[in-house]
Structure 1
Amino acid sequence: MDQLNALSSPFRVIPLARLASGGRWRTEAMRSYGAPVLLWFTRGQGRITVNGKTSGYTSHNAIYVPAGTMHGFEMNSTVHGMIVVFPVGVEDELSLPEDPVHLRLQEADQHIELNRLIENLQSELESGNLASDRAMLCHAGLLSVWIERQMRALDIEEPDEDASSRLAAAYTALVEQEFHSAKTVRDYAKELGVTPTHLSRVCNKACGRPASSILADRVHYEARRLLTETHMPIKDIASSLGFASAAYFTRAFQNHTGRTPSQFRRGA
């Protein structure tokens, strides 16, 4: 089961290694969550794609991802860290950022303070004490204040994006909204007022993969999630993701993952 959906508490603090325990697709495939998250990389390095733009991350990088924002990141055995999951719908109450934020923290006191904030939240989460939900909200508020202060200290403002970055972000946002449909890259390109070739060229420039790969990645992440977390019949999963038939879904899924949906479900 997806660790981000497995626990009943509105707050979650999860080791990245645990999140990735079901396979690389758990972190690398394009997906979004219904709640905002903070990724805290304490060791290792790799690449992360957020909103259609790929950049590198290293140890002591904190990356805030708003709810509903498509993202995925590389993770190998050298990468360690935590993911903090906020409750759904608390962005305004906690004054969380509206856009993704990538904090590259170079000072030891920054690392110590963030670790302390996360540990305090985790301790309250595990305590089960009276009014722990209210206490966790207070700790999360302090974490939100910390993010805002780091943005100011590092002089992080609204991203100065070029036309290609804006188009890639617009495409990933559309895919996130409509990947359950049977829309093709051509359909998305038409909606965005560009040609499929131009859209793919822009996506390749922004995140190193064509538009078709982003779309397929998002669809098949959802397929794998439904296969591992639900008992939905395969034909219903196929229908929910816009495939014309279960047979077509099976062929597409096997081409993408190397296993049929039934094999993947049994293995999970």
Structure 2
Amino acid sequence: MKAAIPIYDICSLTQRQDDLLISRFAPYLKSHRNLHLAHKHSFYHLVFFTQGDGSQTIDFKQVPVKPFQIYFMIPGQVHNWAFRGKVDGYIINFSVPFFQSFLLKANYLEDFPFFTGIVADSVIDVPAGMQQQITGLFEQLIHETEEPKPLADDMVRSIMLQLFIAIARLGFTSVNKTIPSYNYTLLRSFQKLIEKNYATLRLPKQYAELLYITPNHLNALCNDVLGIPAGEVIRNRIALEAKRLLINNDLTVQEIANQLNFADNSYFTRFFKKQVGSTPEEFRKTTNSHD
């Protein structure tokens, strides 16, 4: 039987105890050729491409790779690359606690639109007018890690926050043109609640109660902003977790159904087929044949 999907932490990539890895991408890729296979990270991960072609798959959604594209991943997402030709740029891996001791608001990063785990929001083309600025920030980060000075970690954190805010402003500009800030905040709160409770809370009315709004209000919000009802947002997150678990052949379909709190295997299979278009066994077979 195929081994379980690998889950990497920063230590396994650097061979030392650390909360941070910053590198130019070409040497990193050369040292970690195995990362073209599907894998998970236990840390935050972002890459800024300055040169490259091919594709990558994040949580089973394939996106093209191109110069001056930046992508962000949160812990637990499934990822693999399929590059063509020479690829270069910059990579940052950092642990969940890396900013927690630095910022009073422990979940500060969750407010950035690209750290939601939604693939469509986390792969961003940097416009020509910002490419020099973003490249300069990455060069500062490389310099700080290659020639560390007093308070180097705090300097790195402050440069990373400049980077995050600069990229976030791109997204906020486009979001704010069409979505009132209150609705955007409410939607993010809904998404965060789903992330914490998808295995136990399945109904929009349960989330509406936690948000102190009516189920109709929640449905209208999701339909207006996302184009799908609240129930579909919840079901999509459950289906995504099922996909992530199914690529681990060490788990049986029954065990996955139990982990996601389905009453029985047949109910889970019906749910999965309706959401994904194939049975769990078919999805597992097809996905594994691509590795």
Q: TM-score range by the shorter chain?
A: 0.5 to 0.7
Shift of 1:256: 1.7
Taking the aligned partners of 1:66 and 1:234, their CA distance within structure 2 comes to 25
- Aligned pairs for 1:152-191 (under 5 A) are 162-191=181-210
Shift of 1:145: 2.5
One-letter amino acid of the counterpart of residue 253, structure 1? F
- Aligned pairs for 1:67-86 (under 5 A) are 84-86=92-94
Shift of 1:100: 0.9
Taking the aligned partners of 1:83 and 1:197, their CA distance within structure 2 comes to 43
Shift of 1:141: 5.3
- Of 92-101 and 167-176, deviating more is 92-101
Taking the aligned partners of 2:234 and 2:82, their CA distance within structure 1 comes to 24
Aligned twin of 1:233: 252
Equivalent in 271, 275, 287 of residue 252 of structure 1 = 271
Residue segments in structure 1 that go unaligned for 5+ positions in a row: 27-31, 45-57, 125-134
Aligned twin of 2:157: 144
Equivalent in 100, 104, 117 of residue 112 of structure 2 = 100
Instruction: Report if aligned partners of 2:90, 2:138 keep a CA contact under 8 Å in 1.
Output: no
Q: Which secondary structure does the structure 2 equivalent of 1:242 belong to?
A: coil
Aligned twin of 2:46: 38
So what's the TM-score if we normalise by structure 1?
0.61
One-letter amino acid of the counterpart of residue 48, structure 2? W
Shift of 1:223: 0.8
**Identity percentage of aligned residues:** 23
Aligned twin of 1:195: 214
Taking the aligned partners of 2:141 and 2:249, their CA distance within structure 1 comes to 31
Equivalent in 98, 103, 107 of residue 90 of structure 1 = 98
Taking the aligned partners of 2:163 and 2:201, their CA distance within structure 1 comes to 42
Aligned twin of 2:262: 243
Taking the aligned partners of 2:279 and 2:200, their CA distance within structure 1 comes to 21
RMSD: 4.6
Q: Which secondary structure does the structure 2 equivalent of 1:92 belong to?
A: coil
Cα 1:227–1:183 change in 2 (3 A) is same
Q: Which secondary structure does the structure 2 equivalent of 1:215 belong to?
A: helix
Residues 151-170 of structure 1: CA distance to partner in whole angstroms, max 9, x if unpaired?
777996xx786322122111
Shift of 1:247: 0.3
The answer as to 2:131 corresponding to 1:112 is: no
One-letter amino acid of the counterpart of residue 38, structure 1? L
Instruction: Report if aligned partners of 2:202, 2:235 keep a CA contact under 8 Å in 1.
Output: no
Taking the aligned partners of 1:83 and 1:219, their CA distance within structure 2 comes to 30
Q: Count matched residues.
A: 224
Taking the aligned partners of 1:41 and 1:206, their CA distance within structure 2 comes to 30
Taking the aligned partners of 1:207 and 1:87, their CA distance within structure 2 comes to 30
Structure 1 runs (4+) deviating above 4 angstroms are 10-15, 18-22, 41-44, 61-68, 75-78, 80-83, 93-97, 101-105, 117-121, 138-143, 150-156
Instruction: Report if aligned partners of 1:117, 1:142 keep a CA contact under 8 Å in 2.
Output: no
Cα 1:59–1:204 change in 2 (3 A) is farther
One-letter amino acid of the counterpart of residue 176, structure 1? E
One-letter amino acid of the counterpart of residue 110, structure 1? Q
So what's the TM-score if we normalise by structure 2?
0.57
Residue segments in structure 2 that go unaligned for 5+ positions in a row: 14-18, 54-65, 115-123
Instruction: Report if aligned partners of 2:141, 2:159 keep a CA contact under 8 Å in 1.
Output: no
Cα 1:179–1:35 change in 2 (3 A) is same
- Aligned pairs for 1:56-75 (under 5 A) are 60=68, 62=70
Instruction: Report if aligned partners of 2:43, 2:75 keep a CA contact under 8 Å in 1.
Output: yes
Between the two structures, name the one with larger relative contact order (CA 8 Å, sep ≥ 6): 1
Q: Which secondary structure does the structure 1 equivalent of 2:202 belong to?
A: coil
Cα 1:153–1:182 change in 2 (3 A) is closer
Instruction: Report if aligned partners of 1:60, 1:111 keep a CA contact under 8 Å in 2.
Output: no
Instruction: Report if aligned partners of 1:235, 1:245 keep a CA contact under 8 Å in 2.
Output: yes
Taking the aligned partners of 2:5 and 2:215, their CA distance within structure 1 comes to 33
Shift of 1:231: 1.2
Taking the aligned partners of 2:168 and 2:245, their CA distance within structure 1 comes to 41
